[in-house]
Amino acid sequence: MSARLRNILLWIVALAVLILIPFVVEDRYFMHIAVMAGIFTILTLSWNLLAGYTGQLNLGHAAFYGIGAYTSAILAMQTGLSPWLGLFAGGLVAAVFGLMLGFPALRLSGPYLAITTIGFAEILRLVAMNWVDLTRGSLGLSGVPLLTPIKIGDFTMQFYFERDYYYVVVAGVLFTLFCIRRLIGSEFGVTLQAMRDDEAGAQSIGINPSSYKLAVFTISAFFAGFAGGLFAHFARLVSPELLALHNTFDILTMAMIGGLGTIAGPILGAVSLTILSEALRSMEEVLKIDIRLIVYGLLLILTILFMREGLVGVIKNVWARVKGDR
Amino acid sequence: MGAILTTDRLTKNFGGLTAVNDVSFSLEQGEILGLIGPNGAGKTTLINLISGAFPPSKGTITFEGRDITRDKAHTVNTLGIARTFQVVRIFSRLTALENVLAAMVDRKHKGPWSLVWDSFFRRACALTEDKESCATADSLLDFVGISKYRDEQAGNMPYALTKRLEIARALATQPKLLLLDEPSSGLNPAELTGQIDLIQKINAQGTSILIIEHVMKVIMGISHRLIVLHYGEKIAEGEPEKVYNDPLVVEAYLGGDSDAQH
Amino acid sequence: MDSLFLQQVLNGLITGSVYSLIAIGLTMIFGVMKISNFAQGDYSMVGAYTAVFVMAWVGGWLGWIGSVVAAAAVVGLLGVVTERLVFRPLMTRWTDIDMIMVSIGLFILLDNLAQLFFGATPRMIGDPFGGTTVNLGVASTSLLRLFCFFFAGVTIFCLELFLNRSRMGVAIRATSQNRFAAQLMGIDINQVYRITFGVGALLAGVGGVLYGTLFAIYPTMGALPTLKAFAVTILGGMGNIRGAIWGGLILGVAEALGGNYIAMEYKQAIGFFIIILVLLVKPSGLFGRKEGA
């Protein structure tokens, strides 16, 4: 069997499993968790595009998430724009902000970049808190419209239950995944990796690092904004909390634990940490305490100290060993 | 044949230190020009100036009649000057093939956004599956003699071969002028012969070359002309044999701490 | 000049002196080890809680001073332990990203451990002077706040003595200027790292007691001092102790004035506005030396 055929089969199986999950597990709470896992997968994939492929640490990613959510919600509530278009509008507005942040970020690195991006997100969070006319301040916007029904012939797909949104989010993840895989596999992606490995070397073959960093900042922000839009119409509540630093910390923990600078890593990280955190939440009833974030912090430290390549690296090693034994 | 590259009174100060002082020279079309001098003479600084790594303090650089004095490294490359580095700067997490592929992109006409466009609408599949590009890249790897390492991560290759990979990468940008910064350091005698052949093959295809080299056997064997730098100043220029016996040059090498390998 | 203005400047200087103290720890650690420690504010949080417990045990101004000493000891030790366990293993193979991320991991960990141990209820450090106010003519403030300012000054003075007069202090400064040369001079680099980190954390711990005296104490309070300290450090130039002193005072005054005259809602963001502006103009900070060279 050729590698290509095997790949296609693998994709079909994965897709079938994803489609069938809601038929097997009908629990609404579980579906809610699955939707959030999907949204965080998109966020982590997009954050990793910047951090993992260009080595720039953006600690303000949650701001793009929030911008997308607010944009999509406000457009739907005030102009009546179709939420479906709103998802992309949210992405585009976030992308514009990404470009804006990208310019100063070009000249900065390490702690300077980290703190500037945090500052960017914090300032925007305060704007969301205080621009009450537009955002209703810390109360947030509630009653964001649901995604509008889609009619195909006689069949109408409603978007009301968690399960419906599950399919939307799966489609969103696949869309993101498709785009990012395309980008990484292309000349564009090779250029990014070249810059990450050696910037002077990259310049010597005609690469202008600044323009690429700007482009990646913009693209990364687009997908975060897109994820924000998905969240807005799913949760129907958008609050300044979305822009908070701890969301960015969740994203980077997921990316690190999954494996920075890979495509499978962020997916693995987002899904496994979401599941883990639910497992810990159920343990809370026994332990009487919330140890979820303690475990996050500990895992993040241990990952960096002992498995820098993340889960993807571990799986690769195990796989190599299994193959070697045969 | 005219000059492809000319520098006029090029000077570079680092704080109080003058690394390159008032250096003027020209490099003829199709020539191999050797650049020698004791350690710290400013050779690498000169290459960094020409390649746009940093701008000179004074003086001008002209390439094919165009003033490139203030151009950045990436612009200089798209104009047709490629370089290698004294300490290799390959893309260690990419494969040898990908190192070359990254350099083959037509960056003169394509910025990031047109590559983004391409990745969705032009290329049928992933870059490494693009037969045409890969064939070109493969032939370059073959040309420098490292096709065996095609799919090896560059960071895992033997050091001597990464120098060749760097040359292949530089050639992939189709330069008219190639700047080589000590391509032979760390090579054994057998490899040296191969290296001389390689440089001459490159030159035979019409690429002009400026080369820094400590290994006398290499530099004397391939250079059409030599320039000698000493404390940032040009102290001699001309045919290799003549320069080699120039009393000023002999003194520079014997007086300073010489590490020329004869 | 109207007295409100001077009052705000005084308030700003007092808060700013505490920022300076916490930021000096951060900038020292960065200068010597090139670590950007996002957990710095959590050292302050631990210091503040140490004070809460000591004050509950010994009250009055004796308790307050005792709690500063206790916080210095506890947090200094915590600094040494985290350096050994978390940062040292990365010193030989670090990248910027790894170091920042590992400190973020530590931040998340300490933040949430504190919630677990100390509960979410905010605490206060009682005023040992019973709310006595001091009138300085043009402006007035509580004796306690003045005491905080004084204490921050004394701590910084002691640090200067340590760095300039003691052998270890000189070794730390030498390492900060040139790690490689310091090693050649026979300085035990690991010992320098340990002490630097310990002292850097200790300063944050003492700063935390003062911070907790001025503001409320709660488990997740660490984020603010961390961000403030970073703003101050960037303003003053990473690794520059004098710069951090000035940076802290500037930030404190800017916040007090900005909060009063421009917009209270954006008070916490003033530091960010300033550093973004500064970085746009001068990427190495206001008092920063050029990087490299």
CATH number for position C162: 1.10.3470
Which pLDDT value is given to residue B253?
A: 75
Pick among A108, A127, A301 to test the C interface (most C CBs inside 10 A): A301
What chain A residue is nearest to B85 in terms of C-alpha separation? A201
Residue A288 is predicted with a pLDDT of: 66
Mention every residue, 6+ apart, whose C-beta is less than 8 A from residue A280. A290, A291, A292, A295
pLDDT, position B209: 95
Q: Specify whether the CB–CB gap between B97 and B157 falls below 8 A.
A: no
Question: C97 to chain A nearest CA, in Å?
Answer: 7
Q: Which residues of A touch B128 (CB under 8 A)?
A: 185
Q: What is the mean pLDDT of residues B63-83?
A: 93
Q: Does the beta-carbon distance from A120 to C276 stay under 8 Å?
A: yes
Distance CA B22, CA B233 (A): 7
Tell me the average pLDDT across C184-194. Answer: 87
pLDDT score at C131:
73
How many domains does chain C divide into? Answer: 1
Of residues A193, A200, A211, nearest to B53 (C-beta): A200
Helix (H, G, I), strand (E, B) or coil at C262: coil
What's the rounded Cα separation, in Å, for the pair A229 and A240?
A: 14
Closest of C43, C54, C47 to residue C110, by C-alpha: C43
Which helix (H) or strand (E) element contains residue C249? helix C241-261
Nearest to A182 among B113, B120, B128 (CB): B120
Residues of A in contact with B103 (CB under 8 A): 205-206
Identify all chain C residues contacting A138, using CB atoms and an 8 Å cutoff: none
Report how far residue B85's alpha carbon sits from residue B232's, in angstroms, rounded to the nearest whole number: 19
Residues of chain A scoring pLDDT < 50: none
Shortest distance between the Cα of A207 and any Cα of chain C, in A, equals 23
A6: distance to nearest CA of chain B, Å?
16
- 8 Å CB contact between B178 and B30: no
Give the C-alpha separation, B154 to A57, whole Å: 25
Q: CA angle at residue C127 from C123 to C131, to 5 degrees?
A: 130
| B111, B128, B172 member nearest A211 (Cβ) | B111
Torsion angle of alpha carbons C240, C244, C245, C246, nearest 10°?
100
Nearest to C104 among A104, A249, A289 (CB): A249
CA closest to B133 among chain A residues? A187
Please name the residue of chain A whose CA is at the shortest distance from the CA of residue C231.
A115
How high is the pLDDT of residue C287? 66
Residues 6+ apart with CB under 8 A from B61: B5, B6, B7, B8, B10, B49, B50, B67, B68, B69
DSSP secondary structure code for residue C89 in this structure: G
- Residue of chain A whose alpha carbon sits nearest to that of C232: A115
Q: For residue B77, how many C-alpha atoms fall within 13 Å in the half-sphere facing its CB?
A: 28
* Neighbour subunits, A (≥3 Cβ pairs < 8 A): B, C
For C49-86, the pLDDT digits (tens) are 999 988 888 877 788 888 889 999 999 999 999 999 99
Q: Between the CA of residue B81 and those of A99, A203, B197, what are the distances in Å? A: 31, 12, 21
Q: Could you tell me which residues are beta bridge partners of residue B230?
A: B233
- Taking an 8 Å cut-off on Cβ atoms, the answer to whether B107 and A212 are in contact is no
In what helix (H) or strand (E) does residue C77 lie, and over which residues does it extend?
Answer: helix C60-82
Which of B151, B149, B180 minimizes the C-alpha distance to B167?
A: B180
**pLDDT mean across residues, chain B:** 87
Write down the pLDDT at residue B29.
93
Which among C222, C218, C108 is positioned nearest to A292, based on CA atoms? Answer: C108
Q: Is C278 on the interface with A (CB under 8 A)?
A: no
Q: How far apart are CA C110 and CA C116, in angstroms?
A: 10
C176 burial via Cβ count (<10 Å: 0-12, 13-18, 19+) = buried
Q: Are B124 and B196 in contact (CB under 8 A)?
A: no
Q: Strand runs (DSSP E) across B54-206, as ranges?
A: 58-63, 66-67, 81-83, 177-181
At residue B261, the pLDDT reads 43
Higher pLDDT, C21 or C237: C21
Looking at the complex, does the CB of residue A194 fall below 8 Å from at least one CB of chain C?
no
- How far, in Å, CA of A277 to CA of A160, rounded? 26
Distance CA B140, CA B144 (A): 6
Q: Which residues of C touch A298 (CB under 8 A)?
A: 105, 109
In this prediction, residue B215 carries a pLDDT of 82
User: Which backbone phi and psi does B179 adopt, to 5 degrees?
Assistant: -105, 115
User: Which candidate from A107, A118, A301 shows the least CB-CB separation from C109?
Assistant: A301
Distance from the A178 Cα atom to the nearest Cα atom in chain B, whole angstroms: 10
Domains, chain B, in order of start with CATH, read 3-80+175-255 (3.40.50.300), 93-159 (no CATH)
Element (H or E) spanning A21, and its range? helix A3-24
Distance, in Å, from the CA atom of C177 to the CA atom of B139, rounded to the nearest integer, reads 49
Q: Residue C58 CA to chain centroid, in angstroms?
A: 25
Give A254→chain C minimum CA distance, Å. 12
What six digits make up the tokens of C22?
């916490």
SS3 A88: helix
Query: Are B170 and A205 within 8 A, CB to CB?
Result: yes
**Distance in Å, alpha carbon of B43 to nearest chain A alpha carbon:** 18
Q: Do the bridges between strand B208-212 and strand B177-181 make them parallel or antiparallel, or are there none, so unpaired?
A: parallel
Main-chain phi, psi angles of A126, to 5 degrees? -65, -35
Distance from CA of B56 to the nearest CA of A (A): 17
In a domain, C269, yes or no: yes
Residues from chain B that touch A200, judged by Cβ atoms under 8 A, are 53, 73, 85, 89
Could you tell me where the DSSP H helices lie in B122-176?
131-144, 159-172
Residue C72 near residue C206 (C-beta atoms within 8 A): yes
Q: Nearest to residue C100, comparing CAs of C193, C22, C176, C34?
A: C34
Nearest CA distance, A191 vs chain B (angstrom): 6
Q: What is the pLDDT of residue B133?
A: 83
Q: Flag if C272 and A120 touch (Cβ within 8 Å).
A: yes
Flag whether pLDDT at B124 surpasses 70.
no
**Contacts of residue A118 in chain C, CB cutoff 8 Å?**
227, 230, 272
Burial pattern B61-78, b for ≥16 Cβ within 10 A else e, equals: bbbbeeebbebbbbbbbb
Type of residue found at B177: L
Structure tokens at B10: 């090029």
Distances (CA, A) of C46 to C59, C70, C208: 19, 11, 7
Give residue-wise pLDDT tens across range B219-232: 888 999 999 999 88
From C30, C100, C276, residue closest to A114, measured CB to CB: C100
Length of chain B: 262
**What is the structure's pLDDT at C271?**
83
| Residue ranges making up the domain that contains C176 | 3-281
Mean pLDDT of the residues in chain A = 88
CB distance from C287 to chain A under 8 Å? no
Which residues have C-beta within 8 Å of that of residue A33, sequence separation ≥ 6?
A274, A275, A278
Spell out which residues of chain C touch residue A55, defining contact as CB-CB under 8 Å: 95, 97
Q: Chains with ≥3 Cβ pairs under 8 A against B?
A: A
In a domain, C290, yes or no: no
Q: How do residues C220-269 score in pLDDT, each as one tens digit? A: 888 888 999 999 988 888 888 888 999 999 999 998 888 878 877 788 88
pLDDT score for B96: 94
Neighbours of chain C (3+ CB pairs under 8 A): A
Placement of tokens 């609404």 in the chain = A28
Classify residue C128: in a domain, yes or no. yes
With beta carbons under 8 A apart, name residues in chain A contacting C101: 57, 252, 256, 300, 304
Max Cα-Cα span within chain A: 66
pLDDT at B258 (0 to 100):
45
- Residues A54, A215: contact at Cβ < 8 Å? no
Taking contacts as CB-CB distances below 8 angstroms, the residues of chain A near C115 are: 290
CA of C280 to nearest chain A CA: how many angstroms apart? Answer: 6
Ordered alpha helix ranges (H), chain A: 3-24, 28-54, 61-74, 83-106, 110-130, 132-135, 162-185, 187-197, 199-204, 209-235, 245-258, 264-287, 292-306, 310-325
The residue length of chain A stands at 326
Assess B96–A contact: CB distance below 8 Å, yes or no.
no
- CB of B72 within 8 Å of any CB in chain A? yes
Of all residues in chain B, what percent carry a pLDDT higher than 90?
A: 53
Q: In the prediction, which pLDDT does C132 show?
A: 79
Share of chain C above pLDDT 90, in %: 30
Residue contact B90–A215, C-beta within 8 A: no
Q: Does A132 touch chain C (CB under 8 A)?
A: no
Query: Which residue from C104, C107, C112 is facing A294, i.e. has the nearest CB?
Result: C112
Asked whether A122 and A241 are in contact (CB, 8 A), the reply is: no
pLDDT the model gives residue A228: 95
Rounded CA separation C254/A177 (Å): 45
- Candidate from A108, A245, A305 with C-beta closest to C283: A108
Provide the Cα torsion C64, C70, C76, C79; round to 10°: -90
DSSP character at residue C85: I
A66 and A243 Cβ atoms separated by less than 8 Å: yes
Question: C68 in a domain, yes or no?
Answer: yes
**Burial label, C224 (beta-carbon count in 10 A; 0-12, 13-18, 19+):** middle
pLDDT > 60? residue B216: yes
Q: How far is it between the farthest Cα atoms of chain C? A: 57
- Whole-angstrom distance, CA of residue A137 vs CA of residue B180: 61
Q: Is B107 an interface residue toward A (CB < 8 Å)? A: yes
Specify whether the CB–CB gap between B7 and B59 falls below 8 A: yes
* Residue B24 backbone dihedrals phi, psi, to 5 degrees: -120, 135
What are the chain B neighbours of A190 within 8 Å (beta carbons)? 94, 98, 101-102, 105, 127
| Cβ count within 10 A of residue B210 | 27
Complex prediction ipTM = 0.89
User: Radius of gyration of chain B from Cα atoms?
Assistant: 19
